Amino acid sequence: MHLPSLFARRYLVSKKSTQAINILSGISVLGMLVGSMGLVLVLSVFNGFESLVVSLYDKFYPEIIISPKSGKFFNESSIHYDDLKKVNGIKAYSLQLEEKTLLRYGDNQYIATVRGVDTNFIKVNSMKNSMFHGQFLLHNNGSSFAVVGAGIEQALGLNYDNPFNELSIYIPKKGVSYVLNPEDAFNRELIRPMGSFSIQQEFDMEYVFVPIEFMRTLLNESSSVSAISIAINPDANVAEIKKELKNICGNNFEILDRYEQNKSLYAIMRIEKWVVYAILTFILIVAAFNIIGSLSMLIIDKRKDINILRVMGADLPSIKKIFLFEGILLSFIGCAFGFIISVILILLQEKFGLIEIGGGTFVVSSYPVKMQLMDFILVFFTVMSIGVIASWIPMMRKMNNPTRLSFE
């Protein structure tokens, strides 16, 4: 039987001579409960937002993209596509060509990025699952069609039922500096819109998809490519694939995975998460001062018990362990109940969406949450570490001086 832990459990539930000690012990448990619960909830909300953003961006950005280090375009023949097919783990690849353009539909105009893609595009991108109107159709019976963002659709007032009202796309001609008629400075092509997609506002207000052959005609670039999108198998090693692609493409190209394509976004999200975690940890440290006060008063209250144990042969380190375990118990109980309550609240939020996001313009109506085991492990060690440190302080102050343990 471990006597220090036995005494600690006994002191935890026994009646103290001063009611304030019981009250302060309860406040200590409550403080650790609220602190651990708050940490778990905040981390779960950040996990939920991160998963939501990643899922939205995964619909638009490919798993790996190859783009030139300098300039907008490169020649299609610069890459040996037979070598790409031989890379283990690559499922499909798609060529794309994009440029900023002026869109005109009726009397409405809009500046957008038009991206030309080949027939493999649906193999590397799940855009067809994000359609808002119509269908993702770029080719049919030798004709070219466009799929626009939902924001562009609304800005231009597109009418899909009118087969004669086509979308005009303008791109400035190269090398033209002065013309009498402004329209002579642009290449212009007509295309019929077949539908719109909706992912999030950043993409819905920016992009139009057309066949790559249409885009090359518009740009007068018969073999230009701006990037190559690559889809990989679920069990593939991204780092190994990037290394092989680097050897194939050479030093004139960048090979970026999804994280690197949006590195600043993911970095900001991680920084925000850990800054909030640090702030809540500081609040938890402040709450741990209740443990210091509770144990200090308990040591004073149990001074006679301490002297009796000393007379019976107990050494000072063993007596210190009693109050150390007492502080650990207070922290553990608070942390355990904090975990239980936080799990219940997270499950309720997932099921019923109790706390909603105001405004009504976000992609979800309530705060997204996601539990991760590592968050619970991190919070547990954080709470227990703070509890142990807080428990040591009163012992070092009250019990290191032998004169304080004598009978009065």
Write the DSSP symbol of residue 2.
-
- List the domain range (segments joined by +) for residue 285: 3-57+265-405
Q: Are residues 27 and 118 in the same domain?
A: no
Residue 101: the pLDDT is 96
| Mean pLDDT in residue range 199-221 | 94
Q: Are residues 353 and 325 in the same domain?
A: yes
Q: Which of the listed residues 225, 240, 260 is the one where a domain comes to its end?
A: 260
Instruction: Please name the residue that has the structure tokens 């991680």.
Output: 270
Instruction: State the chain's mean pLDDT as an integer.
Output: 88
Q: Are residues 25 and 96 in the same domain?
A: no
Query: Do the beta carbons of residue 263 and residue 57 sit within 8 Å?
Result: no
Number of C-beta neighbours around residue 244 at 10 A: 19
Q: State the total domains in the chain.
A: 2
Q: Are residues 211 and 270 in the same domain?
A: no
Q: Tell me the percentage of the chain whose pLDDT exceeds 90.
A: 57
**Residue with the larger pLDDT of the pair 93 and 266:** 93
Q: Are residues 89 and 230 in the same domain?
A: yes
Residue 339: the pLDDT is 97
Q: Are residues 292 and 271 in the same domain?
A: yes
> In the predicted model, is pLDDT for residue 361 greater than 70?
no
Q: Are residues 114 and 197 in the same domain?
A: yes
Q: Are residues 15 and 94 in the same domain?
A: no
Q: Which of the listed residues 218, 240, 260 is the one where a domain comes to its end?
A: 260
Which amino acid is located at 371 in the chain?
M
Query: Do the beta carbons of residue 274 and residue 12 sit within 8 Å?
Result: no
Q: How far apart are CA 250 and CA 91, in angstroms?
A: 21
| Mean pLDDT in residue range 264-281 | 90
Q: Is 371 exposed, middle or buried (0-12, 13-18, 19+ CB in 10 A)?
A: middle
| Mean pLDDT in residue range 234-253 | 93
Cα-Cα-Cα-Cα torsion 148, 154, 158, 160, nearest 10 degrees, comes to: 70
> In the predicted model, is pLDDT for residue 292 greater than 90?
no
**Residue with the larger pLDDT of the pair 333 and 287:** 333
Q: Are residues 182 and 100 in the same domain?
A: yes
**CA Rg, the chain, in Å?**
33
Which among 115, 58, 63, 68 has a CA at the least distance from the CA of 92? 63
pLDDT-derived band at 406 (thresholds 50, 70, 90) equals very low
Q: Are residues 88 and 15 in the same domain?
A: no
pLDDT-derived band at 359 (thresholds 50, 70, 90) equals low
Residue 399: the pLDDT is 59
Q: How far apart are CA 384 and CA 379, in angstroms?
A: 8
> In the predicted model, is pLDDT for residue 241 greater than 50?
yes
Q: Which of the listed residues 233, 260, 287 is the one where a domain comes to its end?
A: 260
Q: Are residues 256 and 300 in the same domain?
A: no
Q: Are residues 391 and 245 in the same domain?
A: no
